[in-house]
Structure 1
Amino acid sequence: MDFDDQLRRYFATADLAAISPDALQAGIEQMRVDLGLEADRARRFALWSLLYMLGAGPDLDIAFKDPADRDAARDFMALVDRAAPD
């Protein structure tokens, strides 16, 4: 899953700054629906990751049944949080 492709799919643009608040909420809701329906582990992780970066990621216990996936998500969260400017 390419990041820009996902932005275009859910928000009709790859430019985050161009997304209106209403379009952002609508895209996030659609992503949550897709996350709930997605059976492929890698695609689920990619959807959850984008939701997390948008501040809308569901709790790990809800998003991932497999403990290994939850651990990978925790590692991702730590990496993103360390990369964030202070």
Structure 2
Amino acid sequence: MLLDDLLERYFATSDISSISADALTAGIEHCRVDFGLTKDRGKRFALWALLHMLGSAPELDVAFEDEEDREAARNFMVLLAAPSGENSE
């Protein structure tokens, strides 16, 4: 799943800066519902990652039953938190 595709699906634009507060709230809610309904691990991770970037992701122990998925999510959070260029060796 591509980030632009997810943004288009849930917010009707790939330009996140143009999303109104109401549209952001509605899109996040729609994304959380889809996250809860999907069983596909890859799709769940992509939806969780989007929710995480928007500050609305569920806690890892709630979001993922599998420890591998929780570890992948932790790694994702570390990569996002790293200063730009730190992981570009």
Q: Same fold (TM over 0.5)?
A: yes
Root-mean-square deviation (Å)? 0.9
Q: Tell me if 1:59 matches 2:59.
A: yes
- Specify every segment of 5 or more residues in structure 2 that has no aligned partner in the other structure, as ranges: 85-89
Partner SS for 1:50: helix
Instruction: Give the superposition deviation at 1:79.
Output: 0.4
Change in 2 beyond 3 A, CA 1:81/1:30: same
Pairs within 5 Å for 1:30-69: 30-69=30-69
Q: Tell me if 1:72 matches 2:72.
A: yes
Match of 2:28? 28
TM-score (structure 1 length as normaliser): 0.94
Q: Matched residues in 2 for 1:83 and 1:24: separation? A: 26
Give structure 1 regions of 4+ aligned residues with deviation exceeding 6 angstroms.
none
Higher helix residue share: 1
How many residues were matched structurally? 84
Q: Matched residues in 1 for 2:10 and 2:36: separation? A: 15
- Specify every segment of 5 or more residues in structure 1 that has no aligned partner in the other structure, as ranges: none
